[in-house]
Amino acid sequence: MFVRWGIYAGTTSGLALGMYMWFVELITGVRVYTLLMNVDFIPIVGSIHWPVFMEWLFHMVISWGIGILYCFLFMRRMKAAPNRLWGAAVILSGMAALTYFPLTYLAIKDTPSITDGTAVAYWMAGHLLYAVVLKSSYYRT
């Protein structure tokens, strides 16, 4: 049951993050959406020019994994107290947010630099949004 609920939580959170990054890039030109969807550094996979829906699928698979782990924690391992729900959402989202640095370093496409403070701020804000939606989605399942 936690898998089904985790897919729901991961879907809502992943959609919120992806749409946020898309709007930020559209409005500001800071390439955070490009970075979020980028897989060009992965051997074999990176050499293929993927359609947008496949880039979204790759993004959603990661988000589903996070959502499943989140729901597993509270359905099988821990009591779902508000501070624990927030803590786990922030920790999981924070871990995902830290991927900014290796993803930027490994990217072949034009993405923001590791030292671009504006891009880092947008990236971190997006992942904070992800944490809020992840936690909120847990109760809607």
What is the tens place of the pLDDT at every residue in 44-84?
887 888 899 999 999 999 999 999 999 999 888 878 788 89
User: In the chain, what are the domain boundaries?
Assistant: 2-140
Residue 117, token pair as written in the block: 């403070």
Residue 59, token pair as written in the block: 């993004």
Say what the pTM is: 0.91
**What is the Cα–Cα distance from 17 to 33, expressed in whole angstroms?**
9
Residue type, position 58, single letter: F
Residue 116, token pair as written in the block: 């671009």
Smallest Cα–Cα separation from 101: which of 83, 116, 80?
A: 116
